[in-house]
Amino acid sequence: MIQKNKIKCVVWDLDNTLWQGTLLEGDTVTLSPNVVEIIQTLDQRGILQSIASKNEYHTAMAKLTEFNLQDYFLYPQINWNSKAHSIETIAKSINIGIDTLAFIDDQPFEREEVNFSLPEVYCIDATDLPNLLNLSELNPHFITEDSKYRRQMYLSDIKRNQLEEEFSGPKESFLASLQMIFTIAPAKENDLQRAEELTVRTNQLNTTGYTYSYEELKSFINSDNYLLLITSLEDKYGTYGKIGLTLIERQPTVWTIKLLLMSCRVMSRGVGTILINHLRNEARHHQVKLCAELIQNDRNRMMYMTYKFAHFQEISNDGHLILFENDLSAIQQFPEFVKVNILP
Amino acid sequence: MTADEITEKTKSFLGKFIKVEEIQADEDLFAAGLLNSLFAMQLVLFVEKEFNCKVENDDLDLKNFNSINAIVGLITRKIATA
């Protein structure tokens, strides 16, 4: 069984949690025991980190820089807002579910306030810091190449997003400026850990939410009845990593997309549609029908739309499982602003 | 609301994504491949919020969204039945 609720981001308090002492009271603060090792280990495991601290922003950031820890934290919230508010801001900025966050603080009041407003957040007492790395929630099933570089990829995203906000023309021109390269490849054995990780981590841009174990995924790549594709994206700012997974069941006259998922980080890049168009081309080439399954929930309406806008029509709907069939006669071209690389 | 007002609102929304001044009212917005999940979602949310109507699964069809005329037509029908 794959455990679903792994923590994706650890949010740190500063005073008497990350360091000992109260910064604004003029204390000489010192890092809590082993905290650098803890931060680096979480980072290596692909767990993101941020800060929710009631402090003066510039003073606290200067202190973090002095400790050489400033680059480990995404969207640090150092201000006088409630911690629940700060944690919500972090989840929204990173674009992850609130139930994938953990919060470490020494003060029971702060933990209770967060617990009251956001019961899904996993609150940890700072006195439990020595045992933090042993918590099962903070031990991902696998550590993949993508997990090790996750923070770097998010930092590139922050840079891209800033440029996107500053860009005054239509998004079309911005996308063209990125010089994206989208690669579609059959999954190989060394992709399977990342593939499993994607099925567990991806909720919004996920057509069915089916999760598969490493062993199941391995059986798919060794079977003629299945096609497992893994997609990756890069642009002039660097790689987004392996960002998508698609499982197709191949029968003699019909191919069915059992699962199509994309990381939320590529939501506005149009690559899901490119992938579907690639499959439409393949289906035409092999002279088979192209079908797709979708299990609709309150988070994946975007995928329903992506299918409908890519010429899929509902052929059955039992209120839970929707089956689509594609109108392969409609031609849709790949967009000009992305270079598409299809590996055999 | 008149059809002209709906068209103006729609064009101004689309302008955030595409070079709307180069596009004819009946031209296929997605022919150039400029379609992504976020744009599609924002387009539907725009119709729902701006005109206070609910876009059902059955309405989510490319032919209701693939040109300025198509979007205006959908909104007009939605307002009429609201």
Q: Which residues have C-beta within 8 Å of that of residue A181, sequence separation ≥ 6?
A: A233, A234, A235, A338, A339, A341
- The predicted model scores a pTM of 0.76
Residue A65, burial from CB neighbour count under 10 angstroms (0-12, 13-18, 19+): exposed
The partner residues of A124 in beta bridges, in order of sequence, read A104
Q: Is the Cβ pair B36, A336 closer than 8 Å?
A: no
**Predicted pLDDT at B18:** 80
Interface test with B, best of A299, A308, A312, A331 (most B CBs within 10 A): A308
Residue A152, burial from CB neighbour count under 10 angstroms (0-12, 13-18, 19+): middle
Q: Is the Cβ pair A269, B36 closer than 8 Å?
A: yes
- For chain B, the domains span 3-81
> With an 8 Å Cβ cutoff, is B46 touching chain A?
no
Averaged pLDDT, B8-14: 91
- Local structure of residue A134 (DSSP, 8 states): G
> With an 8 Å Cβ cutoff, is B35 touching chain A?
yes
By C-alpha distance, which of A3, A152, A158 is closest to A90?
A158
Q: How far is A339 from chain B (nearest CA, A)?
A: 12
> With an 8 Å Cβ cutoff, is A268 touching chain B?
yes
**Predicted pLDDT at B36:** 65
Chain B CB contacts of A171 below 8 Å: 16-18, 39
Residue with tokens 């997003």: A161
As a whole number, the mean pLDDT across chain A is 91
> With an 8 Å Cβ cutoff, is B21 touching chain A?
no
**Predicted pLDDT at B37:** 66
By C-alpha distance, which of A68, A235, A261 is closest to A157?
A235
Averaged pLDDT, A132-138: 93
Residue B39 tokens read as 């744009």
Distance between CA atoms of residues B20 and A155, nearest Å: 32
By C-alpha distance, which of A214, A208, A209 is closest to A196?
A214
Q: Are A202 and A264 in contact (CB under 8 A)?
A: yes
ipTM associated with this complex? 0.81
**Is the confidence at residue B19, as pLDDT, over 90?**
no
CA atoms within 13 A on the CB side of A169: 9
Chain B CB contacts of A160 below 8 Å: none
> With an 8 Å Cβ cutoff, is A66 touching chain B?
no
Q: What are chain A's domains?
A: 9-138 (3.40.50.1000), 169-342 (3.40.630.30)
**Predicted pLDDT at B63:** 86
> With an 8 Å Cβ cutoff, is B18 touching chain A?
yes
* Predicted confidence (pLDDT) per residue in A28-83, tens digit: 999 999 999 999 999 999 999 999 999 999 999 999 999 999 999 999 999 999 99
Q: How far is B30 from chain A (nearest CA, A)?
A: 8
- Local structure of residue A190 (DSSP, 8 states): G
* Predicted confidence (pLDDT) per residue in A150-188, tens digit: 898 888 888 888 888 888 777 778 888 899 999 999 999
Distance between CA atoms of residues A305 and A317, nearest Å: 15
**Is the confidence at residue A96, as pLDDT, over 70?**
yes
Residue with tokens 């606290």: A60
Q: What's the CATH number for B3-81? A: 1.10.1200.10
Q: Nearest CB to A171: which of B16, B37, B57?
A: B16
Residue A139, burial from CB neighbour count under 10 angstroms (0-12, 13-18, 19+): middle
**Predicted pLDDT at B33:** 56
Q: Is the Cβ pair B30, A269 closer than 8 Å?
A: no
Residue A210 tokens read as 């089916």
Distance between CA atoms of residues A23 and A61, nearest Å: 11
Cβ neighbour number for residue B6 with a 10 Å cutoff:
21
Q: How far is A334 from chain B (nearest CA, A)?
A: 6
A140 confidence band (pLDDT: 50, 70, 90): confident
Closest chain A residue to B32, measured at CA: A335
Q: Beta strands of chain A (E only): which ranges? A: 9-12, 19-20, 30-31, 48-54, 77-79, 101-105, 122-125, 180-186, 226-235, 238-250, 254-262, 289-295, 312-317, 321-326, 338-342
